[in-house]
Structure 1
C-alpha cells in the first residue's frame, strides 16, 4: 500500500483519536461526505486516514462505474491498509466507514484488535431487502462500537433496528429524521451540517474515551 493511496488529515501529534475511514459502495474516499466528515473530525483532534477499495481506485484509472469487489477482496484490502497504516504510524487505531466501508470494517474489527469501530450509516440490510438483515456477526461483536444512524435510513431505520439482537459493545446514536447520508428532512428543523457536526462530535468523544491519544507522536 503506497502512501499516495492514502488521504490523511487531522493532527499528526497529540491526536485524541485515530481512525481509518473507508468509503461507501458508490462514492470515493474524497466524496463530499467523506471529505467533510474527515475535515470535521480533524478539527476536533482526530487523526483520519482514508483509502479506496480496488474497484473504486480502478474507476479513477479507467473511468466508468465498477461494482464493488467481492467481499473477500474488500476484506483483504482492509487488512493491507491496516498493516500499512500501523507500520507508518503505530498507535491505537480505530476502524470504520460510511455504509459498506463500515460494514466491512465490522467484519474485521475483532480480528484486527482495533481500538474501536465507527459506522456512519450502517447498511443493516440491502436496499429493498429488509427480510435479509446483515446483522448476524453484530450479535457477538466484542470491539467497542459506535453506529451513527439516521432515524429514517432506508437500509435500517429506527423501528427495524430495534428488533435486531446487537452486542452490548454496540452503541447507537440516532439522528432525527435523517436518511442514509445523515441528511434530515427540512421539516425536522435540523440541517445536514448540524447532523454531520453532531456525528463528528460523537465520534471524536467515542474515540477519546477508547484511549485514542495512545497513537503516534
Structure 2
C-alpha cells in the first residue's frame, strides 16, 4: 500500500498542512484534493479517495485550508498547485484539481484564473464532489460563474437529494458549459453523501471507483 508523507507548504507567512499519498510505482499524474467549509484534509471521504487513488497508481496530495472566504481558499489552492508543479520529488506531467463542496468551488476558481493567465497544460481537469451550486432553498442564486469559463474536463459527483445542488439545476448548468463534462449521481444521497440504507464505505466505494475511472479515461485520451 501507499505511504502517507506529511509536508508543510509555505503560504504567505504561514504554512498549509498537507499529506501526499504516494503510489508504489512512480506516478505521472496527480490529484490535489481539499475539503469543504467544515473539517480538514482528514475528512473521511478525502482520506478514502486519496488512499484509493494511490493504490491505483495516482499520486494524491490533500491539504487543509480553514476559512470561509472563497478568495482565500482559492489563493491557498493555487499555492499548492505551484508547489507541486515545482516539486523535484514528484515530477508530474499534469494534475487534476479536486475538492469537496466549498473545496470544489475553490478548485473551479483556480482553474478559471490560471487558464486566463497562462496557456500551460499542467492542470488537466476538475473533480467536484458535492459541488454547492446554491445555498439550501436559494435556487435562484447559482454559483456557476467559474464553471462556465472552464475548458478542461470536469467530473461532478453529486447526490440526487443534495439540498445544495438540485439535480435539474446542475444538469442545466452542465448543458451550458464549454468543457467536456460528466455528472455521476449518487442515488438518494444528500450533500454529505449519506444514503439511507447504505454504509459510508459502500457509498465511498462507488465514488472512488467513479473518480478513478474518469481520471483513467482522461489520461488515456491524452496518450492517444
Q: TM-score, normalised by structure 1?
A: 0.81
Of 141-150 and 163-172, the range deviating more from structure 2: 163-172
Q: Which runs of 5+ in 2 are unaligned?
A: 1-8, 116-120
What does the per-residue CA deviation read over 1:88-110, in whole Å, with 9 as the maximum and x for residues that have no partner? Answer: 12311111111111111011224
Higher strand share: 2
Which structure has the higher relative contact order (CA within 8 Å, separation 6+)?
A: 1
> How many Å apart are 1:134 and its aligned residue?
0.4
Alignment partner of 1:20: what SS? strand
- Asked if 1:178 corresponds to 2:189, the answer is yes
Distance 1:209 1:192 in 2: 26
Alignment partner of 1:177: what SS? coil
Change over 3 Å in CA distance of 1:124–1:42 after alignment to 2: same
Distance 2:59 2:77 in 1: 18
Match of 2:217 among 201, 205, 209: 209
Match of 2:108 among 99, 106, 118: 106
Match of 1:198 among 175, 199, 206: 206
Check conservation: 1:102, 1:118, Cα contact below 8 A: yes
Of 14-23 and 122-131, the range deviating more from structure 2: 14-23
Distance 1:117 1:139 in 2: 13
RMSD: 2.3
Distance 1:139 1:76 in 2: 20
